[in-house]
């Protein structure tokens, strides 16, 4: 599946231009890293691994740009918790 990309998001629209899948991420740490703050998949696409592919797109971008990711949204957090291959792009939690 090939997603469209715009700054801060990967997404998919249907033929009518309706948003049917999206992951959004925002810069943090003065642009050095990003936070994944939202994933959405239309019910018609659920169960097909689309949300995981969206998170993987952000992971691949982070790897290519040398950034780390803080996964805030529930789904992204689950992906990072269950995919050890994402450990290299996980942003360490800052200590107080």
Question: Residue 74 is part of a domain; what is its CATH number?
Answer: 3.40.630.30
pLDDT of res. 92? 86
**Long-range contact set of residues 39-45: C-beta below 8 Å, sequence gap at least 24:** 39/73, 39/75, 39/76, 44/20, 45/12, 45/20, 45/21
Answer yes or no: is 95 within a domain. Answer: no
pLDDT of res. 93? 75
Answer yes or no: is 49 within a domain. Answer: yes
**CA 4 to CA 81: how far, in whole Å?**
26
In 10 A of CB 78, how many CB atoms?
A: 15
Answer yes or no: is 96 within a domain. Answer: no
pLDDT of res. 67? 97
Answer yes or no: is 73 within a domain. Answer: yes
Q: Which domain holds residue 33?
A: 4-89
Answer yes or no: is 94 within a domain. Answer: no
78: which DSSP letter?
A: H
The number of distinct structural domains making up the chain is: 1
pLDDT of res. 55? 98
Q: Which of 66, 64, 92, 69 is nearest to 79 (CA)?
A: 69
State the average pLDDT for the chain: 95
Answer yes or no: is 52 within a domain. Answer: yes
Residues 23-54 have pLDDT tens digits of 999 999 999 999 999 999 999 999 999 999 99
- Answer yes or no: is pLDDT of 96 > 80: no
Q: Which of 38, 20, 41, 21 is nearest to 77 (CA)?
A: 38
- The share of the chain scoring above pLDDT 90, in percent, equals 94
């Amino acid at each position: 599946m090939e997603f469209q990309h715009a700054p801060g998001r990967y997404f998919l629209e249907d033929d009518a231009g309706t948003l049917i899948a999206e992951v959004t991420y925002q810069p943090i740490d003065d642009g050095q890293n990003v936070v994944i703050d939202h994933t959405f998949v239309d019910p018609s696409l659920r169960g097909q691994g689309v949300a995981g592919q969206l998170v993987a797109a952000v992971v691949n971008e982070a790897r290519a740009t040398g950034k780390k990711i803080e996964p805030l949204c529930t789904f992204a957090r689950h992906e990072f918790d269950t995919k050890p291959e994402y450990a290299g792009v996980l942003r360490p939690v800052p200590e107080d």
